Amino acid sequence: MSGHHHDHDHDDVDAGPPLGDLQLRVRALESLLVDKGLVDPTALDTLIDTYETKVGPRNGARVVAKAWIDPKYRQRLLENASTAIAELGYIGRQGEDMVVLENTPKVHNMVVCTLCSCYPWPVLGLPPVWYKAAPYRSRAVIDPRGVLKEFGVTVPDDVEVRVWDSTAELRYLVLPERPAGTEGLREEQLAELVTRDAMIGTGKVEAPRPKAKR
């Protein structure tokens, strides 16, 4: 883990209080909610653990891989994403509707939330820091091609870039293009290729590099 640096001048350095302001506020709120029976601490820990480790972008990767190998599933996914995603057991906790955007040789989709970083948690876990940052939120709309270039994605001029702004009720998941050279792969192997960035639209799925001869 890289060194943690404080870029603020609060008094929480060496001789300061053992708990910082934010930690105290969180503890105060949580303990009051628990005392009032509004939050069950065990359930809270389980919930956090789910988002932190179990959910992750893996759920979304399985959705994408299934859509690649199963044309009927893909059809259902594009027509009614919430239902098709729920088939795999991934259900939105906030009751939001999911829409799946299909990348094609002519259209590249990317997703942003310019207001408050809405994100399809059930399929992608928690959002990465850059997704929540002002530069991405504002620049993705103004200069999507420039932003994509910074992510190492070059979109040819004849490909249209569509930027989708998420809302509280509507979350988007990009269905990336299946890379050439993956015809022989099984669903699970395909899922491993699918990255979180590819499902936000800031990355592309690459075929696995040929392994060195054993």
Partner 1 sequence: MTERPLRDTPGMPRDQEGPVFREPWEAQAFGMAVMLHERGHFTWMEWTKRLATEIAAARARGEHDDGTRYYHYWLAALEKLVAEKNLVGKEELSTRKHEWDVAARSTPHGQPIELKRRA
Terminal Cα-to-Cα distance of the chain (whole angstroms): 33
Catalytic residue annotation: 113, 116-118
28 binds partner 1 (CB under 8 A): yes
196 binds partner 1 per the rule CB under 8 A = yes
Place of tokens 């395909």: 190
Q: Which is closer to partner 1, CB of 28 or CB of 207?
A: 28
Instruction: Determine the interface stretch with partner 1 among 21-29, 70-78, 80-88, 173-181 (rule: CB under 8 A).
Output: 21-29
Write the DSSP string, 9-28: --S-STTS-SS-HHHHHHHH
Give the shortest CB-195-to-partner 1 separation in angstroms. 5
**Considering only residues 72-111, where is the footprint of partner 1 by CB under 8 A?**
93-96
- 186 interacts with partner 1 by CB under 8 A: no
Residues lying near partner 1 in the complex (CB under 8 A): 7, 17-19, 22-33, 36, 38-40, 43-45, 47-48, 51-52, 56-57, 93-96, 115-118, 125-136, 138-139, 147, 150-151, 167-169, 195-197
